[in-house]
Amino acid sequence: MEKNKLPIAFFDSGVGGISVLREAVKLLPNEDYLFFGDSANAPYGTRSRQEILELTLGHARRFYERGIKALVIACNTATSAAINDLRRIYTDIPVIGIEPALKPAALMLPHPTVIVMATPLTVRERKFHELLGHYEGKASVIVLGCPGLMEFVENGTVDGPDVTLYLKELLTPHLEKQKVDAIVLGCTHYPFVAPVIRRIAGNNVRIFDGGPGTARELKRRLAADHLLNPSAAPGTVTFENSLPEKVSLCRKLLKES
């Protein structure tokens, strides 16, 4: 098969990466997508860097052997742990990662106050500390590792009393202490609970999700490598998951997006 007709692989620790996939499908509807979620091994965010690296490299190898034209690591945690190795190994396809969208949040106003929500692993990693370093002096950044939050989404709970209580307890002390200008959703599961965050934070706080920027980067990279699918017909999305019962949740999340 011609390389530009091969599918684009998306990977996440679970169902969260659908928040990135949905943006890619909007932007590039005529591409074929293969989405793999590793829900059996989720959460990644409370694992060690080495474990995440090994899991991610294994999934990437299986994708690559099947024939793909690009790999999107639709997981901030796996990107933190594995993107450098993946780019070193797979030099003949675009490998795109995601990181917390701190840049647009930090630059939205002179010296804004920004909350970054991400997994414990993401906020511990060097990659994140380098990112923070870029905006030192330009924004006040409050970093919140959120153990337990992705599990709500993973279980299909994107609203209701339990997730509302979790987010209230997490965010309210910071929202009451100072004027917060922005909240960055630094885990791909979190955009699915953005309506709850919006209710708690109110309309004056901007919410940043890295999904749209990642989809734009995918398009740029495919175009630069002449890999955009020339077909005008709508593409397909194939879901796979290490917990097969999660596939119906993936379909639902994409459909409702």
Based on the residue annotation, tell me whether 187 is a catalytic residue of this protein: yes
Closest to ligand DGL by CB, 8 or 146 = 146
The residue within the footprint of ligand DGL, chosen from 8, 11, 12, 25 (CB under 6 A), is 12
Is residue 56 a contact point for ligand DGL (CB under 6 A)? Answer: no
Is residue 16 a contact point for ligand DGL (CB under 6 A)? Answer: yes
CB of 219 to ligand DGL, least distance (A): 20
Is residue 39 a contact point for ligand DGL (CB under 6 A)? Answer: no
Is residue 246 a contact point for ligand DGL (CB under 6 A)? Answer: no
- Enumerate residues 70-109 that contact ligand DGL by CB under 6 A: 75-77
Closest to ligand DGL by CB, 45 or 112 = 45
Is residue 188 a contact point for ligand DGL (CB under 6 A)? Answer: yes
Closest to ligand DGL by CB, 101 or 114 = 101
CB of 251 to ligand DGL, least distance (A): 18
Q: HEC string of the chain?
A: CCHHHCCEEEEECCCCCHHHHHHHHHHCCCCCEEEEECHHHCCCCCCCHHHHHHHHHHHHHHHHHHCCCEEEECCHHHHHHHHHHHHHHCCCCCEECCCCCHHHHHCCCCCCEEEEEECHHHHHCHHHHHHHHHCECCEEEEEEECCCHHHHHHCCCCCCHHHHHHHHHHHHHHHHHCCCCEEEECCCCHHHHHHHHHHHHCCCCEEEECHHHHHHHHHHHHHHCCCCCCCCCCCCEEEEECCHHHHHHHHHHHHHC
Closest to ligand DGL by CB, 45 or 94 = 45
Based on the residue annotation, tell me whether 146 is a catalytic residue of this protein: no
What residues are annotated to the active site? 75, 187
Which residues lie near ligand DGL (CB under 6 A)?
12-14, 16, 42-45, 75-77, 119, 122, 150, 187-189
